[in-house]
Amino acid sequence: MEGRVVLITGASSGIGAATARWLARHGMRVVLTARRQDRLEALAQEIRARGGTAMAIPADLADPSARQALVCQAEAAWGPVEVLINNAGFGYYGTVQETPWEVIERMFAVNILAMIHLVQLVVPGMRQLGRGHIVNIASVAGHIAAPPLTVYAATKFAVVGFSEGLRRELAPHGIHVTVISPGPVRTEFGRAASGLDVDPNTVPGGLDPEAVARAIRRALQRPVPEIVIPARYLPAIWINRAFPRLVDWGAAQHGRTWLRHLEEARGRKEG
């Protein structure tokens, strides 16, 4: 991995930041992108202070022109992107009926359209090199959909399906594709999805972002189609595929519990 150029989206915090630190420690040149410029610059400076190589390029990935400028700037500085990690994404806690349409549009723009567009932009360089690796961050929610994240789950199902087809499409060109499907991770996801002051460390059963970063590194060293982390979710995914009605009741109960919890939290905030 020494010296390879990796573009990481959603790099200002959580999984993206942890992955950037991990890969930079192992000699990769990391291109960091997200909307929050101050956080990106701070992370790039931290990586450089530890002897790594990093470049921060702020961008709103919902904007197609910003995506194009991002890849052009990265390639102009360091040459073709050899590894693309599509990590940027967000969710929204609420029923489908209650979710504002503009939120749904932006969720699909960031979680799906940006991912596909960035793949289109970097694949020519990878084909020129005759190698490359694309890592798309999905979720266990991309295999088991449950309220109050139904719309978010739809975007992650799309990530899983897109990655499967893309893997088969690019394999003849020496380009690997891996999808990473984590369970809950201790990040700022809950705060962004709920609009409430949620402490990431209180996520039940939440993974440390470092665990996902290590899974990404393993995939880059030994390419596999998908990593579900933690592996304890694999039986639930298989059961949901074979006997979905067995999962329906539990998922519905889980959704109602979450919605009540959110209503209580919003009530406390407004009070």
Residues annotated as catalytic (active site), given as ranges = 152
Other residues' Cβ atoms within 10 Å of the Cβ of residue 23: 25
| Residue 158 Cα distances to 36, 67, 138, 151, 238, angstroms | 26, 20, 9, 11, 18
| Interatomic CA distance for residues 18 and 238, integer angstroms | 29
Bridge partner list, 85: 8, 135
